[in-house]
Amino acid sequence: MITLRGRLTQFNLPALERGPVIVRLSDRTDRPAPLSRLEAFIHHRGPVPGGFGWYLVKDAETLALLPEGAAAAVLSEDFQHLADGDVVRLEPAKGAIRTLFRKAVAYNHFLLTERCNNYCLMCSQPPRAVDDGWIVDEVLEALPLMDRAAREIGFTGGEPTLLGARFIELVQAAGSHLPNTALHVLSNGRSFATGSLARDLGAVRHPDLMLGIPVYADLAHVHDHVVQADGAFDETIRGILALKAQGVRVEIRVVLQEQTVPRLVPLARFLARNLLFVDHVALMGLELTGFARANLERIWIDPVDYQTELTEAVGILDRAGMKVSIYNSQHCVLEPSLRRFARRSISDWKQEYIPECAGCDAQSECGGFFTSAKFRYSRGISPIVKAA
């Protein structure tokens, strides 16, 4: 587990005189002056170059090595992972730092708003009705600073599309500033149902965009129950149709839980028949944070108890020629025939293994656990020992 936000131990006086800033880090001593003025030097060891806008150091002693009057912060233990090319927000007045972008990881994501029009039983990021429009400004400011070699970034929420025109602006900015970077957006798709937002999104012509949209059942009331919103199913389906009509790629996301497993096989058949043209189907294990933890008893089903349904559903989708993946699962509880569909989908900063995994030969292929799995995991967890 890696900490992405927290309080710094210390900003120095020149830092405290300056306001909050979004800044890219560099550890290069030969950085051209026009750039270094705009960047923060992250110090690991050795001499400290002059000319940087900011300095981040590992301990208070290093402050003495900095140029006269340089604004600086001492990183706490939690932030030693920060490195060249990362983008952070510094708030000297609050003594706070937030990691916005890490160059070393394959996937960085940005929560665009905490507001949502669904209220899912297993939401890992419970929505809040707050005015958080400042987040958009922050991401718009950070995007041009990010590494243009980044493989993929994500927009999440809340429901990002509630931002309306500002959402389109963000997608446009991502496509413009990171033209070689895939953009994955998590949305419930409902905002696209009437067609106009889908048209606007299609018109952006982002070079590599995918919308991940949940469909939890083939029956409207089952889906609506999971997302706790009447009429959501119809809007989501219409939204998917509108997006595909505009040439926007769509991934269907199904969370495997007590409410969705009974209709999983009919859902697979429904997808193959009605939404054959979507670009990917992800069948996902639970992440036990947020509402998922509060509703644990209501939503939990042990993965070993849904392998029959999962096998049939994956088979239907696969035989229909659809691209299908299983996320957030552990190899030892998956039917062996399903392991080739499993992806290592858990972000590194919240991925772990548990003591039962000791001695397992499949860890390098296995997705492992969310850090939150400590609250409940399958009774089927046991090491896979491969014959020598």
Of these, 125, 274, 345, 371, which contacts other proteins (CB under 8 A)?
A: 274
User: DSSP assignment, residue 103?
Assistant: T
In this structure, what DSSP letter does residue 276 have?
A: T
- Judged by CB under 8 A, does residue 117 bind other proteins? no
233 binds other proteins (CB under 8 A): yes
Residue 7 binds other proteins (CB under 8 A): no
Contacts (CB under 8 A) with other proteins, residues 85-104? none
Instruction: List helix spans (H) across the chain.
Output: 13-16, 33-36, 134-142, 165-177, 196-204, 220-227, 232-245, 264-274, 291-294, 296-299, 307-319
Give yes or no for a contact between 213 and 251, defined as CB atoms under 8 angstroms apart: yes
Closest CA to 356 of 335, 331, 339: 331
Does residue 319 bind other proteins (CB under 8 A)?
Answer: yes
337 three-class SS: helix
Check residue 286 for interaction with other proteins (CB under 8 A). no
| Residue (of 329, 309, 159, 285) closest to 227 by Cα position | 159
> Which of 53-61, 287-295, 329-337, 366-374 is the region at the interface with other proteins (rule: CB under 8 A)?
287-295
Query: How far apart, in whole angstroms, are the C-alpha atoms of residue 118 and residue 133?
Result: 19
| Binding residues with other proteins: total (CB under 8 A) | 34
DSSP strand pairing (87-91 vs 96-101) = antiparallel
- The residue from 8, 56, 142, 316 that contacts other proteins (CB under 8 A) is 316
Q: Which is nearer to other proteins, 184 or 263 (CB)?
A: 263
Q: What are phi and psi of 184, to 5 degrees?
A: -110, 125
Cβ proximity to other proteins: between 56 and 241 the closer is 241
Q: Which of residues 241-270 bind other proteins (CB under 8 A)?
A: 241, 259, 266, 269-270
Half-sphere exposure at residue 222, Cβ-oriented, CA atoms within 13 angstroms: 18
Using the rule CB under 8 A, give the single segment among 143-151, 207-215, 230-238, 377-385 that binds other proteins: 230-238
Q: Smallest gap, in angstroms, from Cβ of residue 208 to other proteins? A: 26
Whole-angstrom Cα distance, residue 201 to residue 184?
A: 13
Interface pick for other proteins out of 19, 34, 47, 321 (rule CB under 8 A): 321
Q: How many CB atoms lie within 10 A of CB 385?
A: 10
Using CB under 8 A as the criterion, what x/- string covers residues 146-185 for binding other proteins? ----------------------------------------
Interface with other proteins (CB under 8 A), residue from 11, 291, 327, 377: 291
- Residue 324 near residue 283, CB atoms below 8 Å: yes
In the bound state with other proteins, the residue whose beta carbon lies nearer, of 220 and 362, is 220
Which residues in this chain contact other proteins in the complex, by CB under 8 A?
119, 121, 126, 218-222, 224-225, 228, 230, 233-234, 237-238, 241, 259, 266, 269-270, 272-274, 276, 291, 294-295, 298, 315-316, 319-321
